[in-house]
């Protein structure tokens, strides 16, 4: 299953935004001569994680790229092993545990994107949050097995890796305390966490922030930089649609199978904790934007909510494929296909309606929901590009909606449920076969195609052909220039993330972004003004920020000496004063 997950979602080193932020700091810890005078790197004096120092230490014994790949594969393997044990603990069913491992391996909500906070327990790269997600899953398993002292000790260790994830789990455990028959044992665990938290708070207080704290426009700048983790009023329609589909889908599946489970009481307590965390996130993001509270990013707690959704979805699928009902098989396949969805496709909405009809509606409502889903998929197929992944997904969805409409809720089949489950899984994987074939044939595990590949080539050329102290003007909507070039840009849109751990950084960053004419509130539009800067403007910027080189997209040429060019980017030498 680890291999299947890699084939579906790939692996990114350095070009995923999270690792692109922290990897240059790891490089500088290993070699202090790198990135001289880089203001973004100066912000890491207050970075609240031991991960960069640990990675830099281990980097003495192995290349960082090799180290991160090995850690990523190991993390995926151990995460799926933990999911197996967690699912068996929550449901008491070994077959559910096997199904949960499969669903966790293929689910976008565990690997790419969650509906609210957008950060799953695992992403496509290894960094501090990946390690914290693994530790959090381990802590949760220990907690549910009533091993409270090691569960809270693991939570304490998480504080020093990614304190936010630890705080989310602490909220869940707090809600489970009320009325628990073993509350005394839990309190001993809380005592352990409290002792560790005191040391953590002292450590946090000792981290120097050279930027002086947040300015009066902090929340506005954070929202302009990226609203996804905090500000619902800044969310786009695609995100709201995913929320409208996947929150109720997960909730229906949890409620369908948690009732009567060995841990029903804890699950209900955890759900109350999630609701409170999300309500607090909404209030702090929209009405009381106190920087410290906004930065708690409570919406990101949905990573653990989605973990429960995956496990109880697996138990629901096990139930469907234990019966000889093709209508249930069709519903199961549609749920599985929906969990693989990374975009804002509409067929999962009809799968949600079909699930609700299966649980609460009469037979005719189930058929009507299936017919509506089939009709919508057929309409979409008229406009989707032939042989595209989306076309294949909608074809598979059309097949199973049609099967549901024909079979209804009560028709019995002579085909064995086990064979039906295997056929459903094979059908769901059909849209991914071209991607899997490409990764295997080309040994292309990374997601580095198109412009990203050109960006990497440019960085490698800069690393080999420019001095280590060189500073570059780069399109602000790109990110990760420091990773492979080992050179400093004046700024990137992604650099704004430093305002999380170094409030006050946003002031200088906003000035640099304005100088690069990146006024767009979204990074994908940040290059528009930059591409319009003329030669005189680049000369002024070079003098202001000490930059000797400028990068532009190849379609926006400059009348400077060209040092390097590829299909997407051109590197110029700026005239010396």
Does a structural domain hold residue 316? no
pLDDT value, residue 328 = 92
| C-alpha to C-alpha distance for 292 and 570, rounded to whole angstroms | 41
- Specify the DSSP element, H or E, that contains 565: strand 561-565
Q: Same structural domain for residues 334 and 274? A: no
Whole-number Å distance between alpha carbons of 307 and 303: 6
How large is the average pLDDT for residues 371-387?
92
Q: HSE, CB side, 13 Å, CA atoms: give it for residue 161.
A: 20
Q: Are 484 and 464 in contact (CB under 8 A)?
A: no
Give residue 440's pLDDT.
Answer: 82
315 within a domain of the structure (yes/no): no
Q: Output phi, psi for 488, to 5 deg.
A: -95, 135
Q: 164 in a domain, yes or no?
A: yes
Strands of 38-195, DSSP E: none
161-193 confidence digits (pLDDT tens)? 999 999 999 999 999 998 888 999 999 999 999
Is there a domain that residue 518 lies in? yes
Q: Are residues 171 and 291 in the same domain?
A: yes
Separation CA 298–CA 116 (nearest Å):
9
Pick from 442, 461, 486: which residue ends a domain? Answer: 442
Give me the pLDDT at residue 420, please.
87
Residue 110 near residue 2, CB atoms below 8 Å: no
Q: What is the pLDDT of residue 526?
A: 57
Same domain, residue pair 287 and 327: no
Query: What burial letters (b/e) apply to 61-82, b meaning 16+ CB within 10 Å?
Result: eeebeebbbebbbebbeebbeb
Indicate whether 401 belongs to any domain: yes
85-143 residue pLDDT tens:
999 999 999 999 999 999 999 999 999 999 999 999 988 999 999 999 999 999 999 99
Examine the domain organization and report whether 222 and 173 are in the same domain: yes
**In total, how many domains does the chain have?**
3
Q: Do residues 195 and 236 both lie within one domain? A: yes
With a cut of 60, say whether residue 524 has pLDDT above it: no
Residues 415, 537, single domain; the answer is no
- pLDDT class for 410, splitting at 50, 70, 90? confident
Q: Clarify whether residues 11 and 156 are in a common domain.
A: yes
* Tokens 């990946």, located at residue: 130
pLDDT at 196 over 70: yes
Q: Is residue 253 part of a domain?
A: yes
- Which residue carries 């809380």 as its tokens? 190
Q: Give the pLDDT confidence of 419-432 residue by residue, as tens digits.
A: 888 999 999 999 98
Q: Looking at 392, 421, 442, which one is the last position of a domain?
A: 442
Residue 138 domain-assigned?
A: yes
For residues 295 and 326, give the distance between their C-alpha atoms in angstroms, rounded to a whole number.
Answer: 47
Count helices and strands in the chain by DSSP H and E runs: 26, 5
What backbone torsions phi and psi does residue 50 show, to the nearest 5 degrees?
Answer: -85, -5
Query: Quick one: 335 and 298 in the same domain?
Result: no
- Nearest to residue 158, comparing CAs of 176, 149, 170? 170
pLDDT-derived band at 339 (thresholds 50, 70, 90) equals: very high
Question: Among 106, 101, 81, 77, which Cα is nearest to 9's?
Answer: 106
Which two tokens mark 520? 């767009």
Nearest to 490 by CA among 32, 30, 25, 35: 35
314 closest CA partner among 330, 331, 336:
336
- Residues in CB range of 323: below 8 A, 6 or more apart: 417
98 is in which domain, residue-wise? 2-310
Question: What is the pairing mode between strands 549-553 and 561-565?
Answer: unpaired
Specify the pLDDT at position 519.
64
Distance of alpha carbon 154 from alpha carbon 134, whole angstroms: 10
Amino acid 522: pLDDT: 57
486 and 380 co-located in one domain: no
559 and 423 in a common domain: no
352 with 291, same domain: the answer is no
Place of tokens 């966490």: 193
DSSP string, 400-460: HHHHHHHHTTT---SS-HHHHHHHHHHHHHGGGHHHHHHHHHHT--S---THHHHHHHHHH
Does 543 reside within a domain?
yes
What's the Cα-to-Cα distance from 168 to each of 188, 274, 363, 421, 439, rounded to whole Å?
A: 19, 9, 41, 35, 36
Each residue's pLDDT tens digit, 9-42? 989 888 788 999 999 999 999 999 999 999 999 9
Structure confidence by residue, pLDDT tens digits, 281-334:
999 999 998 888 999 999 999 999 999 999 999 999 999 998 888 999 999 999
Instruction: List Cα–Cα distances, 487 to 27, 67, 275, 459, in angstroms.
Output: 11, 22, 44, 8
- Quick one: 138 and 259 in the same domain? yes
State the pLDDT at residue 493.
92
């Amino acid at each position: 299953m680890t291999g299947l997950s890699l084939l579906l979602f790939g692996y990114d080193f350095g070009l995923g935004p999270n690792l692109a932020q922290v990897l240059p700091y790891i490089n500088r810890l290993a070699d202090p001569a790198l990135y001289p005078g880089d203001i973004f790197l100066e912000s890491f004096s207050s970075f609240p994680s031991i991960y960069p120092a640990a990675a830099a230490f281990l980097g003495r014994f192995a290349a960082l790229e090799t180290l991160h790949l090995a850690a990523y594969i190991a993390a995926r393997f151990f995460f799926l092993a933990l999911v197996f044990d967690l699912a068996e603990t929550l449901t008491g069913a070994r077959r559910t545990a096997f199904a949960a491992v499969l669903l966790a391996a293929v689910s976008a909500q565990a690997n790419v994107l969650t509906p609210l906070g957008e950060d799953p327990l695992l992403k496509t790269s290894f960094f501090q949050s990946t390690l914290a997600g693994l530790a959090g899953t381990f802590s949760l398993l220990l907690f549910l097995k009533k091993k409270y002292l090691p569960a809270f000790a693991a939570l304490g260790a998480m504080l020093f890796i990614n304190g936010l994830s630890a705080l989310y789990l602490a909220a869940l455990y707090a809600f489970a305390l009320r009325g628990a028959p073993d509350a005394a044992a839990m309190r001993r665990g809380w005592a352990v966490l409290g002792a560790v938290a005191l040391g953590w708070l002292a450590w946090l207080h000792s981290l120097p922030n050279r930027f002086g704290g947040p300015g009066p426009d902090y929340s506005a700048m954070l929202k302009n930089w990226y609203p996804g983790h905090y500000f619902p009023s800044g969310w786009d329609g695609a995100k709201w649609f995913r929320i409208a589909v996947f929150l109720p889908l997960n909730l229906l599946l949890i409620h369908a199978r948690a009732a009567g489970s060995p841990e029903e009481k804890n699950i209900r307590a955890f759900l109350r904790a999630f609701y409170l965390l999300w309500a607090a996130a909404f209030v702090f993001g929209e009405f009381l934007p106190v920087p410290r509270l906004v930065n708690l990013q409570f919406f990101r707690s949905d990573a653990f909510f989605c973990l429960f959704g995956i496990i109880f979805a697996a138990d629901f699928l096990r139930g469907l494929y234990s019966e000889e009902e093709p209508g249930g098989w069709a519903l199961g396949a549609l749920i599985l296909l929906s969990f693989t969805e990374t975009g804002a496709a509409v067929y999962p909405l009809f799968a949600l309606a079909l699930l609700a009809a299966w649980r609460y509606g009469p037979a005719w409502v189930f058929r009507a929901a299936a017919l509506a889903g089939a009709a919508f998929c057929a309409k979409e197929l008229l406009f989707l590009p032939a042989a595209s992944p989306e076309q294949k997904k909608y074809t598979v969805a059309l097949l199973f909606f049609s099967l549901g409409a024909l079979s209804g809720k009560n028709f019995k089949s002579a085909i064995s449920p086990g064979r039906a489950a295997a056929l459903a899984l094979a059908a769901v994987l059909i849209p991914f076969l071209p991607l899997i074939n490409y990764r295997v044939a080309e040994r292309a595990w990374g997601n580095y195609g198109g412009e990203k590949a050109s960006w990497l080539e440019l960085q490698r050329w800069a690393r080999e052909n420019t001095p280590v102290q060189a500073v570059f003007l780069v399109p602000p909507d790109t990110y990760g220039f420091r990773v492979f070039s080992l050179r400093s840009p004046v700024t990137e849109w992604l650099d704004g993330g430093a305002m999380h751990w170094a409030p006050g950084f946003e002031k200088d960053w906003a000035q640099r972004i304005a100088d690069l004419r990146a006024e767009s509130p979204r990074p994908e539009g940040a290059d528009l003004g930059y591409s319009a800067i003329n030669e005189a403007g680049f000369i002024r910027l070079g003098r202001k920020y000490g930059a000797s080189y400028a990068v532009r997209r190849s379609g926006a040429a400059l009348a400077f000496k060209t040092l390097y060019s590829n299909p997407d980017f051109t590197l110029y030498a700026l005239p010396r004063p």
